[in-house]
């Protein structure tokens, strides 16, 4: 749930509690009224805690496409840590959730891809293989060999080159260019649903 929706829900629930508290013809026993207020208070506290977590620490994301297969599948739900990059910079191999650049024409949708190169790295794709800084990069997490080519480019500072693990079915840096650091929302750390796919990343 987006944080703004949760905030609205908490405001409505709080208003209901205030209304019930001051409603004079709230004709139920004091014990039952106390239990109702305790339940509402518990929900309010839990909701406020969840709001703080999803705003500042972590957030859930739904995977709508096959661009990260086999690592992530359609209908997976993941948790992204929004706090971790306050302590260190995004690194090669990190799976990140981000606001795509305007060139991606994403219609406001967030993306999830894997960082394969950071600022200062050179990237080249030829003969179905990714070359990082002139060396062939082993990628045991991809679905299949790459079916396109990319001339050697250098990643600018404070930018990243990101690709989907499903290399041939992913709108990523090979299509729309580099990902600016400020666009990154957080690092994907855990698949939480379906339950048979729970795993860390």
**Residue positions annotated with a catalytic role:** 67, 113
Write the DSSP assignment of 6-20 as a string of letters. HHHHHHHHHHHHHHH
Label residue 13 exposed, middle or buried (CB < 10 Å: 0-12, 13-18, 19+). middle
- Closest to 170 in 3D by CA, of 91, 70, 62: 70
- Collect all residues with Cβ–Cβ distance below 8 Å to 77 and sequence separation of at least 6: 60, 61, 62, 63, 191, 192, 193
CA angle 17, 21, 22 (to 5 degrees): 125
- Closest to 77 in 3D by CA, of 92, 60, 100: 60
Q: Is residue 172 classed as helix, strand or coil in its secondary structure?
A: coil
Torsion, Cα of 107, 109, 112, 116 (10° steps):
30
């Amino acid at each position: 749930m987006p944080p703004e929706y949760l905030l609205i829900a908490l405001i409505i629930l709080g208003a209901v509690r205030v209304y019930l508290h001051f409603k004079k013809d709230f004709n139920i026993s004091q014990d039952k009224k106390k239990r109702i207020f305790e339940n509402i208070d518990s929900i309010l506290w839990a909701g406020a805690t969840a709001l703080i977590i999803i705003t500042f620490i972590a957030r859930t994301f739904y995977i709508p496409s096959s661009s990260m297969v086999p690592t992530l599948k359609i209908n997976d739900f993941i948790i992204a840590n929004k706090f971790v990059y306050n302590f260190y910079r995004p690194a090669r191999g990190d799976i990140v959730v981000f606001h795509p650049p305007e060139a991606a024409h994403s219609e406001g949708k967030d993306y999830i891809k894997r960082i394969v190169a950071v600022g200062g790295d050179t990237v080249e794709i030829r003969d179905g293989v990714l070359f990082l800084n002139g060396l062939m990069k082993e990628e045991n997490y991809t679905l299949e060999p790459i079916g396109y080519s990319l001339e050697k480019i250098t990643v600018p500072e404070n930018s990243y080159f990101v690709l989907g693990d499903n290399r041939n079915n992913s709108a990523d840096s090979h299509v729309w260019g580099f990902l600016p650091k400020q666009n990154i929302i957080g690092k994907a750390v855990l698949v939480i649903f379906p339950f048979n796919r729970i795993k860390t990343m």
